[in-house]
Structure 1
Amino acid sequence: MLIRRPGDILPSEITPKDVFLNRRQFMTAAAGTALLAGEAAAALKGIPSRYSASEQPNSRKEITSYNNFYEFGTSKEDPARNAGSLKTRPWQVVVEGEAGKPKTFGIEEILKLAPLEERIYRLRCVEGWSMVIPWVGIPLASLLKAVQPTGNAKFVAFETLNDPKQMPGLASRVLDWPYREGLRMDEALHPLTILAVGLYGEVLPNQNGAPIRLVVPWKYGFKSIKSIVRIRLQAQQPATSWNLAAPNEYGFYSNVNPAVAHPRWSQATERRIGEFLKRKTLPFNGYGDQVARLYQGMDLTRFF
Structure 2
Amino acid sequence: MGDEKRFRLIATLILLVISIVAIFPMVLLIVASFTDENELITRGYQLFPKKLSLEAYRYMEKQAYTIVRAYLVTIGTTVVGTVASVLLTTSIAYPMARKTFRYRNVLSFFVYFTMLFNGGLVPQYIMWTTIFHIKDTYAALVLPNLLMTAFNIFLVRNYFTNSLPDALYEAAQLDGASELGIFARIVFPLATPVVATVGLFSGLAYWNSWTNALYYVQDPKYFGIQNLLMRIMKNIEYLRSGASEMAAEGQTVTLPGNAIRMALAFIGILPIIVIYPMLQKYFIKGVVVGAVKG
TM category, shorter: under 0.3
More strand as a share of residues: 1
Higher relative contact order (CA 8 A, sep 6+): 2
Larger Rg: 2
More helix as a share of residues: 2
Q: TM-score, normalised by structure 2?
A: 0.21
